[in-house]
Amino acid sequence: MKNNAIASRDVDFAKWYTDVVRSAKLADYSSVKGCIVIEPNGYAIWERMQEILDKKFKELGHVNCQMPLLIPENLLKKETELVEGFAPEVAWVTSGGQKELEERLCIRPTSETLFCDYYRDHVKSHRDLPMLYNQWCNVLRWEKETRPFLRSREFLWQEGHTIHATEEEAMKEVDQMMGVYHWFHNEILAIPSIRGRKTDKEKFAGAEYTLTNEALMYNGVALQAGTSHYFGQKFAKAYGVTFTNKENKEEYVYQTSWGTTTRMIGGLIMVHSDDYGLVLPPRIAPKQVVIIPIGDSEKVSTLAQQYQETLRKEGITAFIDNSEKSPGFKFAEAEVQGIPIRIEIGERDLEKGEVTFVRRDTREKCIEKMDIDLVSYIKNLLNTIQNDMYQRALKRRENLTFEAHNLKEMEEILNKQPGFIHAMWCGDVACEEKIKEIKGCKSRCILEDAEKIDDVCVCCGKKAKHVVVWALQY
Amino acid sequence: MKNNAIASRDVDFAKWYTDVVRSAKLADYSSVKGCIVIEPNGYAIWERMQEILDKKFKELGHVNCQMPLLIPENLLKKETELVEGFAPEVAWVTSGGQKELEERLCIRPTSETLFCDYYRDHVKSHRDLPMLYNQWCNVLRWEKETRPFLRSREFLWQEGHTIHATEEEAMKEVDQMMGVYHWFHNEILAIPSIRGRKTDKEKFAGAEYTLTNEALMYNGVALQAGTSHYFGQKFAKAYGVTFTNKENKEEYVYQTSWGTTTRMIGGLIMVHSDDYGLVLPPRIAPKQVVIIPIGDSEKVSTLAQQYQETLRKEGITAFIDNSEKSPGFKFAEAEVQGIPIRIEIGERDLEKGEVTFVRRDTREKCIEKMDIDLVSYIKNLLNTIQNDMYQRALKRRENLTFEAHNLKEMEEILNKQPGFIHAMWCGDVACEEKIKEIKGCKSRCILEDAEKIDDVCVCCGKKAKHVVVWALQY
């Protein structure tokens, strides 16, 4: 049954999105303009994201730390490009403890400055390198228009900041971490995504280059899904971070940073969810299986208990919904909250020796014998759901991926159905700006090893240098 | 060998403390006055604390969420006592996005206001209750004097905020969570601690009552180690949080909050560490066993590898220190960083079929046969260390626990050797204030079921109501 609290995805995508966020109880607006409350259902997804990414970061030798929330204005200003990039969107603390501050402090929009400040005093020799630090924290950017998860003034993220003795090693790190984000989106979130390099116009303020992972939402609008930056020695020079290299000479360190945010929850919704609410890929779902007993016979509750125990022993997050609500209400709730598998255990079915399994992604019902090999059945089904969700998202993306050979074609595509547009580019920022005039279409990334489509730039007709993916964006 | 970077604990406790923090690389000062950088070794302890507490909270039915960092001034001001309590120590954001704000926003010093604001819109019926929310986050209090972990302007904590349909249930929650903190300190941190109730003067701003867990540091100064507050309907009335009860009548909810912070890391240091650096109880140590190979023979490295694998399979966090440093340097580093067990594997010892095990807490060396039953040996040793550390701390506390029958005795004790002083109290705040004149000595907690020491108040000599623990405090 269609959920009346949720607008149709094909009719009003923007409203559908916020309806899903609210109906699945992922987040709510707060009394603080532009800031959201991440509700338990939303936060549990973030916890799963943290758990999986953090484990991977640590396997690769990274350690976590915590830098201060506040940055003194003077410290922030040392790296010109960074401050110019972020100045329009920072918030300033000007008084504390009932006194005006001598120097105002900004709430971190990102922490390159603080890490540099720390590293400067803690690295001496090449033997201290690399330093592979990461932090999970909140940051603040004073956005004008906000939407839950996609763009809010405060958001949660992880920011990795590493320093290295050589350019080569630092570049390898930038690439490696982009690989982690790509893997995480494809394998865990079931979001097919594209790796590439940002153009100079779109790269991070202060970076030499930025690698990016780009995903396409159901409506054909792109979402940046993880970035990894190479800074070279730029920040090191601005903040004086040097070390004694193997030749016993003083040298500036080579630096990287890389991050992902709670925006990924927005991406998950916009790729997979439907008119019935949230749909979560099993590998990221905080609850993978809900068991709903119908009626209160002992036989029913014994089997429910037995199922729960059997599944939990195998590391599957199963739980019985024993609340006072009606079964119908529980079905609807499990559906809107995107729990991958619902098991319905009813007395009448049990008399026939049967139990009902419902897939959330396809809403298919399968009636099975109650003495089925539960663990392998559920494990298979979870894998099938994960793979099917990825394949559906991939197919959608492929259907919304176009090629344009000139500006007119680009405009026609964007007017008809936005998506990823592959087109050649000469490397000139003027062409990027001209293309942006078409509905705000931006370069998403340069595909570094792609086969060329044309010899000339889609915009100016001069010699093309790169295959670029263009799109409207969140 | 005495670590020269560390002052003597018995000679200069304050310097010893910061020396341990710095030498064990737990935290460093930052360019932001009053704010610290929590370094990887310190943050790893916090992660262990989070892991253990979070699991317990969830087992008891709590869920995590995330409220905004900022609180509009108007919202903060709704509950008078709270705002009066915190006004002197908040920091204000007055501009964002290059504009002056219409209403200034404070950085959360605590989040009762935000939780109330949220609950007001999300609770309707007794069926929605209880709501058992918790968040892990940073808060800011504009302290004048700061010390790493013990008191810093920004700190990390968890704050649980729950609402209930009845007073009885809410009070039970307050008590239950105090039980969790007490268990955590005694069983996990090996810090013997005392449960009690704060006097009205010392309770949380806005609370009806506050339960507290109090620990005594090596130098006889007390540290508050977890508090749990009962608010009754006070906040609910200020913020309008009502529900329809079972009798179908509108009623205000009953509320609690409870929290622990990164201060606990300071407590760990001040109870257990010594002149050689940090000493960590095995149950909280991020790394329980370090294996140090001496020399680079294959036989040594094979055994080291084998030990590491064997221990890890059993869930013991063991790691080989394969860095380029000398064995002596590695021994010293393992010692200063408080790793509970150090295994030294040397070629010459192996020829004799021997391996050396070193306990960090007692610095005892045990030479054992290399084919020892490693897992049970290490498990036993970890348990022994944990228990011995608790017993030593308990003995220290018992030695520093005194009884006073009048003000003169109290003064004599505090002048000689501070500690926990048990003494009777009439319940009058005037007496608390008079006692505070003795070196700032405060009531730590009322012992609710303690046997009375005297009939009269230690201060005024009038009829006594409570046995109170008094102490100097951090």
Interchain pair B127, A69: CB under 8 A: no
d(CA B48, CA B25): 17
Is the CB of residue A312 less than 8 Å away from at least one CB of chain B? no
Interchain pair A75, B122: CB under 8 A: no
d(CA B73, CA B420): 40
**Mean per-residue pLDDT for A226-231?**
98
Please report the pLDDT score of residue B324 as a whole number: 85
Please report the pLDDT score of residue A87 as a whole number: 84
pLDDT in tens, A295-307: 889 999 999 999 9
Is the CB of residue B333 less than 8 Å away from at least one CB of chain A? no
Reported as a pLDDT band with limits 50, 70 and 90, residue A2 is low
pLDDT in tens, B441-460: 999 999 998 999 999 999 99
Tell me which chain A residues have a C-beta less than 8 angstroms from the C-beta of B241: none
Reported as a pLDDT band with limits 50, 70 and 90, residue A80 is confident
Please report the pLDDT score of residue A4 as a whole number: 80
pLDDT in tens, B163-205: 999 999 999 999 999 999 999 999 999 999 999 999 999 999 8
pTM above threshold 0.90:
yes
pLDDT in tens, B271-309: 999 999 999 999 999 999 999 999 889 999 999 999 999
Number of Cβ within 10 Å of residue B349's Cβ equals: 16
Strands B131-140 and B99-107, by their bridges, are unpaired
Tell me which chain A residues have a C-beta less than 8 angstroms from the C-beta of B265: none
d(CA B343, CA B310): 14
Please report the pLDDT score of residue B2 as a whole number: 66
d(CA A145, CA A14): 13
Instruction: Give me the phi and psi of B245, to 5 degrees please.
Output: -80, 180
Reported as a pLDDT band with limits 50, 70 and 90, residue B1 is low
d(CA A293, CA B151): 51
**Mean per-residue pLDDT for A267-292?**
98
Please report the pLDDT score of residue A1 as a whole number: 55
d(CA A180, CA A176): 6
d(CA A377, CA A368): 10
Q: Average per-residue pLDDT in chain A?
A: 96
| Contact yes or no for A330/A323 (Cβ under 8 A) | yes
Interchain pair A37, B92: CB under 8 A: no
Please report the pLDDT score of residue A238 as a whole number: 94
Please report the pLDDT score of residue A17 as a whole number: 98
Interchain pair A114, B28: CB under 8 A: no
Nearest to A65 among B40, B66, B324 (CB): B40
Structure-model confidence comparison of residues B314 and B323, the more confident one: B314
Is the CB of residue B387 less than 8 Å away from at least one CB of chain A? no
pLDDT in tens, B353-377: 999 999 999 999 999 998 899 999 9
Is the CB of residue B61 less than 8 Å away from at least one CB of chain A? no
Is the CB of residue A439 less than 8 Å away from at least one CB of chain B? no
d(CA B379, CA B282): 10
Residue A161 host element (H or E): strand A154-164
Instruction: Give me the phi and psi of B170, to 5 degrees please.
Output: -65, -40
**Mean per-residue pLDDT for A402-411?**
96
Residue with tokens 């070193």: B358
pLDDT in tens, A5-20: 899 999 999 999 999 9
Nearest to B93 among A66, A92, A97 (CB): A92
**Mean per-residue pLDDT for B320-338?**
95
Which residue type is seen at A292? I
Please report the pLDDT score of residue A237 as a whole number: 96
Is the CB of residue A117 less than 8 Å away from at least one CB of chain B? yes
Interchain pair A40, B30: CB under 8 A: no
Tell me the residues of chain B between 335 and 374 that have a Cβ less than 8 Å away from chain A: none
pLDDT exceeds 60 at position A310: yes
| Contact yes or no for A420/A194 (Cβ under 8 A) | yes
Nearest to A68 among B35, B43, B144 (CB): B35
